[in-house]
Each structure stands twice: as structure tokens, then as C-alpha cells.
Chains A and B, each alone.
Chain A
Amino acid sequence: MFAFILARLLQSVPVLLAVAFISYGMFAFVGDPVTAMLGQDFTAAERQAMIHQLGLDQPFYLQYLHFLWNVLHGDFGLSYRLARPVGELIAERLPATMELAVSAAVLSLLIGVPLGVFTGINRNSALARGLMTLSLIGVSLPTFLIGILLILVFAVLLGWLPSFGRGDVVHFSHWSTGLLTSSGRRALILPAITLGMFQMTLILRLVRSEMLEVMRSDHIKFARARGLSEHAIHFHHALSNTLIPVITIVGLQLGMLIAFSIVTETVFQWPGMGLLLVQSIGVADIPVMSTYLLLIAVVFVVINLVVDLLYFAVDPRLRSQGGR
């Protein structure tokens, strides 16, 4: 088990190095960092000094190693736009994005899985058919449109929920959360629904088709032939056998939620990393963009590892092999 985790972590090292390389490439070759740092007026000497200070006069591989070294020490450079350490900026924004993404994921699981089971079992009922049709809308409507529609109905017309921002937040050293204040919770609802809508319908459809598949299998027929209750058949034997593909997709989707919260954060002016990224792209704030890229890569590596560990928890066949 431990060996497996270690092997997986080692496997992800080349991936991270490659992403770091791209992210460094952005840093070094996209735009002109020297001009960006110095502004409009500078002398040739100042420019030379800055090039030296940034290490741009060194050989390429040394620059890359230097970049890696800095990253490993938590030094991601200065934001051109805000002239503050990027690490700090991201750390400020991370809690807002994580809170939004995790809420959206939990919401989509809590709704998507039961509805998937329901539509899978009662395939021909009118309600199940209606849900499937609705889910098509969820899959095909673009996120920004869902967000705008929700704002229109619940914020503008009904006035029940705020249309932007994160409400009041409570700080704990490096973390901040809006879950502990009522305005924070109210502010979270619409963005979480918007962000989670696609995932929810995706999970619903996935669980449904997996349920249909499993319900046809021999072991379910044998469970029926033994007279087990519908409840035992659906939940002890069928649902558990749909979990492997569901875990795979949900894991990937959580990564997507974090990476692509950009649109939702923009629509709701949510003060997270996505909004930071959009603002940074607008002025080509490369250090922020490359750090964001690195962070997303790390998020995916971690999620993949967790997914693999969940496989072990769910499937005894993998457990006894001790890893594939």
C-alpha cells in the first residue's frame, strides 16, 4: 500500500516537471518581463541590471533550475499587476475557490447520485423520463447562461439571494470561510449551483447508465433468485458495483471544478483564484498565470492519487493484487 502511494507519487514527478517547464516557458518567453517590471522609462543600465537580477543572462537550463528551486521554496515571483508575491495572492484566493468547488461537488454528488439511482431503477417511469430530459438541459446549457438565469430569477426578480460577492467571511490564520456567517452561506448558494450543475447532470447520467448496466449482470440475477429485497439488490449489490467508474469521473470532475471555476467566479464576482486569473490574463500578468497552471497540475496529481486510493477501498480485487 505504502509502496503503491510512493510509486504513484514518483510517477507524477515527470508530469509536474513538464508542467513546471511550460509554466517557466510562459514566464521567460511570453511578453517581456523586464519591460513589465520596469515600466516605460528606464535606462539601458537599469535594463541590464534588471536582466541580471532576474537571471535572464544565464543559460536556459540554469534559469529553469533556478525557477524550480524558487518554486520549491514557495517563491513564485512578483505579480506585475499588483507588485505583490504571487504565493501570497494565491493563498488569499485559494479558500474562496476551494469552498466554492467543494460545495459544488458535494451538491452535485448529493443530488446526482440519488437521482441517478432513481432514474436507473425506475427507467420507464414518467418522473425518471422527465428528469432525464431536464438533465439534458443541464449538460448542454453553458455555465455562464445558467449563472445569469439564476441571478435574474433569484437575485433580481425575487431578491432572495445576493447576486455577487462572498458575503462576510471568518478568518482562521491562513484560511477564510463564508460558511460560518449567514450572508456567506447565502452568497454561496447561487455560485455553487451554477458551478455544480454540469457535474450534477453528468453524475446523474453516469450513475444511471452504470446502474442499468449492472442491473443486467449475472450476480444481480442471482441476488434476485435468492429472494433478496429490492433495497439490498439496489444498494448493497448494484450501487457498489457502479462506484469505480463514478469515483473516476467524480475525481476528474472535482479537478475540473477547481480549474474551471473561472467562468462562475467571473459571473458572480467571486473573490477566488479564477477571478484572479481572469484579471491577470487581461494584463498579461505572467507570474500569476504560470503559478496558477502549476497549482492546477498539483491539484490533479493529488486528486488522481486519492482516486487510486478510493479504488483500493472499494474493490477487493485490487486490494489483494497490491496495486496494478
Chain B
Amino acid sequence: MALLDVIDLVVEFPTRRGTLRALDGISFSIEPGEILGVVGESGAGKSLTGSAIIGLLEPPGRVASGQIQFEGSRIDRLSPAQMRPIRGRQIGAIFQDPLTTLDPLMSVGRQLVETMQTHLKLSDRDARARAVQWLEEVGIPAAAERVEAYPHQFSGGMRQRVVIALALCAEPKLVIADEPTTALDVSIQSQIISLLKRLTESHGTSVMLVTHDMGVIAETCDRVAVMYAGRIAEIGPVADVVRTPSHPYTEGLMGSIPSLEARVERLRQIDGAMPRLGAIPQGCAFNPRCGRTIARCFTHRPDLMPAGATQAACWLVGGGAA
């Protein structure tokens, strides 16, 4: 059984000028211990997918239809009180900017202790000892002394290590890491990613890793989902998606990677821009930018179809215009 199943998820924002459909039928799953990468242009819906999973969509955003199942039971219809024991304890989250994700007025040790004691039965002494252990584990030097330090006393990279410790300290089974290195200095990005990979591997934690960095995807993830305009364009094992992409959009993304080692390479610029939510064209959302359109692309929207080892939402795969 998969750890997480997202089934036909639709997220909508009611606005004065009608309802905006930000996620439009997303389906994927994450196996225990697996790392799923999520890539896509800005506004594709990567962060919204993560927020929907931990139940922190900002109102008026809401799950309009579809299901989110964790260990086989639905978590998308739970009350806040029912959801609270799942957050942090079952599903953790790491956000983009470590400079703003920590409470500036509380020592990092207290934030760790508070989080652990919320979910685990721990005495004050045990919780404190574990807080020090966690800081050591994420590579904070002189952890025993710095446990009383406040966030501003750490550098950006060190703060993101603290954030990782906070996300993992109640030992969740899944961590949603939304661009955990985008806000960091390039020189420390790979350290943070390898720390995350090492820790989640040793704790058997699954990860949904949102990033713009194809190098990170290629090196870190087991599978990858490519998102475009609120939908998944292609999903499959990393090696296949990177080496033999089936969706023209994925091809465009991969075209820029000279080798798997080139870590700093970002998503290639594809001509044109992703359509705004209110202005998604009929048929395939990628059709204004696609160089290989067929008639069908302008009338009917493709769903994910098997394409070799991956699945792609494109009329050119899986029997084409049939």
C-alpha cells in the first residue's frame, strides 16, 4: 500500500470573478521511503499540492473534489482537531525561507521541545536531551551550547538545518519539502539536500521534494512529477523522465541539462509563459507553446497515459489521436 495517495485532487479559489481552479485533477502516490521530486514553472501548483496534503490551504482555497489518502484513510475531510495530530507527527513540512519560518522570539531548543512534547510523551529532561541530539544530527556545531540560542544567532544555512530538525523531530513518515534550498546561498544548497537525503533515508521517511533544480532531482529523487498549469504533465522514475522524456514540456525542461552533475543548472526557459489560471486554453494547456501540436490538442484535454516507463498527459503518447 502506498503511504500517500492523491486521487484526482482539485483545489479551487472562489473569487469575485468566478472560481479559479488552481489544481485540476492531480493524481500521484508516494511509497514508504520513497523520494518524489516535483518540478514545474512558478505558479504550476507545486506549493498548493503540498499545502493541500497537510491541510493548510489558505482560505478561501479549498479542496473541491478528489481525495488525499494517508496510509489508506482519507485526510482531506478531517476537522482541524483531527488533522493536528497528523501534522508534524505523520506528515512534516519544510518551507522555503529559513529566515522567516522560525519564531524569532523563542529559542530553537524550546521550539524543538515544544514540537516533540506536542506529539510524543516525553519528560522535560528527555525532550531537552533529544533537542540537543537533533541539533547534533542536523550538523549544528556545539549543539549543547546553542540549544538556548535564538534563530537570529544562526546563519541561513544553519537555520534551515534547524527547520529540518523541527520537521523531523516528531518522526513523521512523510516530509513535504517545498524548495528547501531556494532561499539559500548556492554554496550550501547541496549540503542541505544531502543532509535531508541522509536523514530521511536513515529514518525511512518518504519525501515530497519541490525544487526548480533538475540536478537535485536527478541526484536525489526516485521518481519525479512534472507539473504544468495545475496538472501533472509527466510522472515516472527519474532516470526515464530525465533521459527519455515523453511530454514535450518535459523535453523542453530536460534539454538544458548538459550532464547530471551540473547542479546549478535551472529549468530551461521555454519560449512563452505558462497561462494564468483564468486563461488556460481549451484542450492541452501547453498547446500555445508546444511545437508538435495536432488538431486534437486544441479541442480535448489529455489525461495521464502510459508512455514507456513513465506516464505523460500528451496526445502524442499512448496511441496518439486515437
B79 CB, nearest partner CB in chain A, Å: 12
Candidate in B97, B114, B119 with the most chain A CB atoms within 10 angstroms: B114
B85 CB, nearest partner CB in chain A, Å: 6
A228 with B106: CB separation less than 8 A: no
Tell me if A's interface is mostly helix, strand, loop or mixed. Answer: helix
A225 with B153: CB separation less than 8 A: no
A237 with B106: CB separation less than 8 A: yes
Measured between beta carbons, the chain A residues less than 8 angstroms from B105 are 240-241, 314-316
A100 CB, nearest partner CB in chain B, Å: 33
A218 with B100: CB separation less than 8 A: yes
Measured between beta carbons, the chain A residues less than 8 angstroms from B118 are 226-229, 232
A316 to B149: give the CA distance in the assembly, Å: 9
A223 to B84: give the CA distance in the assembly, Å: 11
A227 with B152: CB separation less than 8 A: no
Q: Does A222 contact B (CB under 8 A)?
A: yes
Q: Does A219 contact B (CB under 8 A)?
A: yes
B114 with A228: CB separation less than 8 A: yes
A1 CB, nearest partner CB in chain B, Å: 17
Question: Which positions 77-136 of chain B face chain A at CB distance < 8 Å?
Answer: 80, 84-89, 92-93, 95, 97, 100-107, 114-115, 118-119
Q: Does B9 contact A (CB under 8 A)?
A: no
Measured between beta carbons, the chain B residues less than 8 angstroms from A237 are 103, 106
Measured between beta carbons, the chain A residues less than 8 angstroms from B163 are 222
Question: Which positions 212-260 of chain A face chain B at CB distance < 8 Å?
Answer: 217-219, 221-230, 232, 236-237, 240-241
Q: Does A317 contact B (CB under 8 A)?
A: yes
A315 to B152: give the CA distance in the assembly, Å: 11
B153 with A241: CB separation less than 8 A: no
Q: Does B28 contact A (CB under 8 A)?
A: no
A221 with B56: CB separation less than 8 A: yes
B56 with A236: CB separation less than 8 A: no
Measured between beta carbons, the chain A residues less than 8 angstroms from B87 are 224-227
Candidate in B84, B104, B105, B107 with the most chain A CB atoms within 10 angstroms: B105
Q: Does B167 contact A (CB under 8 A)?
A: yes
A226 with B100: CB separation less than 8 A: no
Question: Which positions 75-128 of chain A face chain B at CB distance < 8 Å?
Answer: none
B150 with A225: CB separation less than 8 A: no
Question: Which positions 269-324 of chain A face chain B at CB distance < 8 Å?
Answer: 314-317, 320
B101 with A227: CB separation less than 8 A: no
A218 with B95: CB separation less than 8 A: yes
B54 with A316: CB separation less than 8 A: no
Q: Does B312 contact A (CB under 8 A)?
A: no
B106 with A224: CB separation less than 8 A: no
| Chain A residue with Cβ nearest B83 | A227
User: Which residue of the partner chain, among B92, B97, B104, B150, contacts A226 with CB atoms under 8 Å?
Assistant: B92
Given known pairs A316-B152, A317-B150, A320-B152, the reply for A225 and B104 (CB within 8 Å) is no
B54 CB, nearest partner CB in chain A, Å: 6
A76 to B95: give the CA distance in the assembly, Å: 62
A142 CB, nearest partner CB in chain B, Å: 38
Measured between beta carbons, the chain B residues less than 8 angstroms from A224 are 56, 87
A227 to B120: give the CA distance in the assembly, Å: 12
A226 with B103: CB separation less than 8 A: no
Measured between beta carbons, the chain B residues less than 8 angstroms from A227 are 84-89, 115, 118-119, 170
A241 to B104: give the CA distance in the assembly, Å: 8
Q: Does B216 contact A (CB under 8 A)?
A: no
A227 to B81: give the CA distance in the assembly, Å: 10
A225 with B152: CB separation less than 8 A: no
Measured between beta carbons, the chain A residues less than 8 angstroms from B107 are 316
| Chain B residue with Cβ nearest A226 | B88
Q: Does B166 contact A (CB under 8 A)?
A: yes
B101 with A317: CB separation less than 8 A: no
B114 with A222: CB separation less than 8 A: no
Chain B 63-88 interface mask (CB, 8 Å, partner A; 1/0): 00000000000000000100011111
Given known pairs A217-B100, A315-B105, A316-B150, the reply for A226 and B56 (CB within 8 Å) is no
B106 with A236: CB separation less than 8 A: yes
| Chain A residue with Cβ nearest B99 | A218
| Chain B residue with Cβ nearest A228 | B118
Measured between beta carbons, the chain B residues less than 8 angstroms from A223 are 103
Given known pairs A226-B118, A227-B170, A320-B152, the reply for A221 and B95 (CB within 8 Å) is yes
A249 to B170: give the CA distance in the assembly, Å: 39
Candidate in A221, A222, A241 with the most chain B CB atoms within 10 angstroms: A222
A111 to B313: give the CA distance in the assembly, Å: 59
User: Which residue of the partner chain, among B56, B89, B104, contacts A219 with CB atoms under 8 Å?
Assistant: B104
| Chain A residue with Cβ nearest B107 | A316
| Chain A residue with Cβ nearest B59 | A124
B101 with A219: CB separation less than 8 A: yes
Measured between beta carbons, the chain A residues less than 8 angstroms from B167 are 225-226
Known contacts A225-B93, A241-B103, A316-B152; 20 further A-B pairs (Cβ under 8 A): A219-B102, A221-B101, A222-B93, A222-B102, A222-B163, A224-B56, A224-B87, A225-B92, A226-B118, A227-B84, A227-B89, A227-B115, A227-B118, A227-B170, A229-B118, A232-B118, A237-B106, A316-B107, A317-B152, A320-B153
The interface of chain A, by Cβ under 8 A from chain B, is 217-219, 221-230, 232, 236-237, 240-241, 314-317, 320
Which 7 pairs across A and B sit closest by C-beta, in order of nearness?
A227-B88, A227-B87, A225-B93, A226-B88, A218-B100, A316-B150, A222-B101
Q: List 5 A-B contacts (CB under 8 A).
A: A219-B100, A219-B103, A226-B167, A232-B114, A240-B106
